[in-house]
Amino acid sequence: YHFLKLLISQHTATFTIIRFTLPYLSKQRWEEGKSSDGQKWTTLEHNGPLFPPEYEPLPNNVVFYYSGEAFKLGLASEEIATFYAKMLDHEYTTKEVFQKNFFNDWREEMTEDERKVIKKLSKCNFSELHAYFVNKAEEKKNMTKEEKQALKEDNAKLTEQYGFCFLDGHREKIGNFRVEPPGLFRGRGEHPKMGKLKKRIQPEDITINCSKGSRIPGPPQGHKWRKVQHDNTVTWLASWVENIQGHPKYIMLNPSSKLKGEKDWQKYETARNLKLRVDSIRRQYQSDWSSHEMRNRQRGVALYFIDKLALRAGNEKEDDTADTVGCCSLRVEHITLHKELDGKEWVVEFDFLGKDSIRYYNKVPVEKRVFKNLKLFMENKDPDDDLFDRINTSSDSSQMTVLLITSLSAEDMTVEEKILAYNRANRAVAILCNHQRAAPKTFEKSMQLLQEKIKKKKEQIELAKRELKEAKNAHRERPSDKSKNLVAKKEKVLKRLQEQLKKLQLQMTDKEENKVIALGTSKLNYLDPRITVAWCKKHKVPIEKIYNKTQRDKFAWAIDMTDEDFEF
DNA sequence: TAGAAGACTTGTATTTAACAGC
DNA sequence: GCTGTTAAATACAAGTCTTCTA
């Protein structure tokens, strides 16, 4: 769990981040009146998941070719072929691993006769299939307004029927009420299983969870559920096992639900409690740097990294997944020690792939004792050995914290400036947590557009200034009510233009600074929303300017309970 | 008690809806 | 009203941490 806090005092935006592991905390007696028997609900009723539509066979004029010859595929293998055909202009399909995995899985689903003929992916020609789907997408785009409206209404009906459940008597929104459709697995980074066939889920694969005595959802015609259970120690409504990694998947509630909201609240309360102990935890791990036990030294340094850099814990991973690491799973090859670098002493250079194969690159000056310890941990090891070989994320008291404070301030700000300040604080957190995104494809273009707008606005301002001057002169020469009004009017116009310019410039700054940073994750999962709500109230910033509809729903608990003098 | 299985949160990519500018 | 951009919503993979089981 990662936690952070956003403190925004008088005209000042300040974030404090706290990232730590829960076992350490849950052993403390901080539970906020949470039921100890693990009951998550008393009654639960729902309509089961919504299945994706059955496969629609291709029309006869859309032909698959093998070795240049038309080849009619059976329904099952045709469907799988369409998965690949749809992805043809995606980078994935150029990757060897993807192709290999796809082709292996595809062949497994083929009939004997198909398998006899289709032996090489390179001889397969999906282009007609691809074109067919491109065309279909185009047609969908060109549908009339009425058709689109009808489609929308159909969708709304389904959401109405399947998108809600009753939990303890309250009607709650479900997060993902659709069963995932079949397709090709798209792992992130260099995932060894990319391209494998994600099979169609049948009702017979699905476990339903609801309360005893509730109306049990009916399986689709001619089918039955794998199992119906009544376990109120878990929060999911339905589950199945996906065939790629063999992991369970769940249908759960939307973040706007009471159940999720209370859990979220509890999370931030835990963070709040941690704040009281951060100092002592820091003293502890610093003293561990000189421990005579190697295990303690490693733990002390690992904790320091997590505290200082907001690294993830770094659990052990299964094989057959992309090679990514977190703090505890760092290997010797992921860091380089520099006694001196860029005029700084005791610098550690990090370079590794973290969650979702996002690169973490950072050069960090550290305390001398940390540096010496790292050198010790690396002695007589190969590059692919674990840096922290004596600890793992479940070793005792894995206490991990992070605290960062960035301060941004200004006096007498407009709402726009306040929002920029907020976003900057938000951004400082995202940068620390390495929440990166690829620069949007249209970034340069839209930047240029903004640039032009600003130029235009400046020209307008020049013009307005001249006109104002003229009006003033005219008024001086021949004062009248009319001329006086004109001056006032021109002043007003100029002022408004100047405000608009400022707004545009702020917008541009924000955009530029946000180029490769994703704010969403930290806003949604790390910032205590109560701090944001209090800040909005205090500074008269409408909450809608900070949180969109979804976010307001998710943080309804915070919006309801927080007044302007809330302190984290 | 360690390793596997299970449950739940976090995070990026993709899809869809809303909006601005013509 | 149309079209291209941007923001919101959704999808689902990939983490973390808990609980079960041999």
**Domain segments of chain A as ranges:** 65-145, 441-561
The protein residues having a beta carbon less than 7 Å from any atom of strand B are A 1-2, 40, 90, 152, 155, 186, 188, 231, 233-236, 239, 241, 246-248, 250, 252, 260, 263-264, 267, 312, 355-356, 358, 433-438, 453, 518, 520-522, 525-526
Integer angstrom CA distances of residue A415 from A10, A213, A409: 14, 53, 14
Distance A44 CA to B5 C1' (A): 25
- Find the residue closest to B16 using CA and C1' atoms: A152
Instruction: For residue A253, give both structure tokens.
Output: 């509630």
Strands A44-46 and A65-66: unpaired
Q: Order across the sheet with A44-46: list the strands.
A: A44-46, A164-167, A170-173
Q: Is A17 helix (H, G, I), strand (E, B) or coil?
A: strand
Strand B nucleotides below 7 A of a protein CB? 5-14, 17, 21
d(CA A254, CA A196): 29
Distance A92 CA to B14 C1' (A): 14
Strands A227-229 and A207-209: parallel
The helix (run of H) or strand (run of E) holding residue A544 is none
Integer angstrom CA distances of residue A457 from A162, A374, A445, A467, A478: 50, 56, 19, 15, 31
Task: Using the structure block, give the residue that is written with the tokens 């799988």.
Answer: A80
Distance A354 CA to C15 C1' (A): 10
DSSP labels for A328-370?
Answer: TT-BGGGEEEEEEETTEEEEEEEEEE-GGG-EEEEEEE--HHH
Strand C nucleotides below 7 A of a protein CB? 2, 5-19
Given the candidates 1.10.10.41, 3.30.365.10, 1.10.3720.10, 3.40.50.300, the CATH classification of the domain at A65-145 is 1.10.10.41
**What is the model's pLDDT at position A12?**
36
- Minimum-distance nucleotide, CA of A313 to C1': C16
Distance A485 CA to B13 C1' (A): 56
Q: Nearest Cα to A559, choosing from A523, A532, A522?
A: A532
Check residue A125 and report its DSSP letter. E
Which are the contacts of A72, defined by CB distance < 8 A and separation ≥ 6?
A64
Q: Are A44 and A165 in contact (CB under 8 A)?
A: yes
Tally Cβ neighbours within 10 Å of residue A258: 15
C-alpha torsion A382→A387→A392→A397, nearest 10: 150
**What is the model's pLDDT at position A358?**
95
Distance A118 CA to C19 C1' (A): 46
Q: Which residues make beta-bridge pairs with A365?
A: A347
The helix (run of H) or strand (run of E) holding residue A181 is none
Q: Nearest Cα to A512, choosing from A561, A567, A439?
A: A439
- Minimum-distance nucleotide, CA of A394 to C1': C17
d(CA A299, CA A288): 8
Find the length of chain A.
568
Distance A148 CA to B16 C1' (A): 12
CATH topology of domain A441-561: Topoisomerase I; Chain A, domain 4 (1.10.132)
Q: Nearest Cα to A76, choosing from A50, A25, A115, A45?
A: A115
Q: Is A377 exposed, middle or buried (0-12, 13-18, 19+ CB in 10 A)?
A: buried
d(CA A192, CA A244): 11
What is the 3-state composition of chain A as percent helix, strand, coil, each rounded to the nearest 5? 45, 15, 40
DSSP labels for A380-404?
Answer: T--TTSBSSTT--TTSTT-------
**What is the model's pLDDT at position A140?**
84
A65-145 and A441-561 share one fold: no
Q: Which residues make beta-bridge pairs with A335?
A: A350
- Find the residue closest to C9 using CA and C1' atoms: A550
Tally Cβ neighbours within 10 Å of residue A374: 22
- Minimum-distance nucleotide, CA of A322 to C1': C14
Segment A377-383 long-range contacts (CB within 8 Å, at least 24 positions apart): A377/A297, A377/A298, A377/A301, A378/A332, A378/A335, A378/A337, A381/A332, A382/A332, A383/A331, A383/A332, A383/A333
**What is the model's pLDDT at position A495?**
83
Q: Which backbone phi and psi does A20 adopt, to 5 degrees?
A: -155, 170
User: What single-letter amino acid sits at A381?
Assistant: K
Residues of A assigned a catalytic role: 526
**What is the model's pLDDT at position A129?**
95
Q: Where are the alpha helices (DSSP H) in A167-321?
A: 258-275, 278-288, 294-309
**What is the model's pLDDT at position A29?**
26
Instruction: For residue A172, give both structure tokens.
Output: 């709650």
Residues of chain A with pLDDT under 70: 1-36, 394-411
pLDDT in tens, A5-20: 333 322 334 444 444 4
Q: Are A41 and A168 in contact (CB under 8 A)?
A: yes
- Minimum-distance nucleotide, CA of A315 to C1': C16
Which are the contacts of A95, defined by CB distance < 8 A and separation ≥ 6?
A194, A195
Q: Are A180 and A51 in contact (CB under 8 A)?
A: no
- Minimum-distance nucleotide, CA of A250 to C1': B7
Query: Helix A294-309 and helix A368-378: axis angle, to 10°?
Result: 120
Strands A65-66 and A124-125: antiparallel
Q: Nearest Cα to A239, choosing from A263, A259, A210?
A: A210
